[in-house]
Amino acid sequence: MGYVKAVSGPRITMLSLFAGFTFSAITLHPNWLPIPSSLISQFILFFLVVLFDLCLFLLAWQVVIVVGTYNVSYAPARAKWELVVFNLVFIAVFILWGWSVVLMFLVQNLSFLTLVSGVLWVVIIVISIEVMHVELKHLGWNIKEGLKYDGKS
């Protein structure tokens, strides 16, 4: 657990920086490229999308590991419930953030890149959910149990 605490800060900071930089590059490049619909332009944008999706996947995975390894003894039921709801909303934000890139390509009329990026994002979402499910199961955390809030805290 000490190892996770020691490396979590730098990892999360680095991945957030990479994801933010890549997101900015994706949003700015279609306006800078002379012909955004050219094959090389779409290949460059797709490369950035792959990098962005991988950063989000690793960032989400690291956050789950950090949250799952912090040992809080005797947390009140309401705090556990709030943590579960926060994590579910957090996952929804990650998923929507990834879709925003795909929708940016749709607005630019880059149909092929939109399709390929959307398929890649669906694959990343499925892999992320499976990895997080396995990780949380390994850590002994159950969403259904966490959502059971009886109001007694």
Q: Which of 9-13, 68-72, 117-121 has the lowest mean pLDDT?
A: 68-72
Give the residue-averaged pLDDT of 94-117. 90
Q: pLDDT tier at 153 (50, 70, 90 boundaries)?
A: very low
Q: Which of 62-76, 78-92, 116-130 has the lowest mean pLDDT?
A: 62-76
Q: Which of 5-14, 19-28, 30-39 has the lowest mean pLDDT?
A: 5-14
Percent of the chain whose predicted confidence (pLDDT) is above 70: 73
pLDDT at residue 7 is higher than 80: no
Q: What is the pTM of this model?
A: 0.71
Q: Where are the alpha helices (DSSP H) in the chain?
A: 2-32, 39-69, 77-107, 111-139, 143-147
pLDDT at residue 6 is higher than 80: no
CA dihedral 49, 114, 112, 128 (to 10 degrees): 60
Return the pLDDT at 132.
Answer: 80
Return the pLDDT at 126.
Answer: 92
Top-confidence residue, 88 or 113: 113
Long-range contacts of 143-149 (CB under 8 A, 24+ apart): 143/84, 143/88, 146/80, 146/81, 146/83, 146/84, 147/81, 147/84, 147/85, 148/77, 148/81, 149/77, 149/78, 149/80, 149/81
pLDDT at residue 9 is higher than 70: yes
The residues, any chain, with a CB within 8 Å of residue 125's CB and separated by 6 or more, are: 95, 98
Return the pLDDT at 53.
Answer: 92
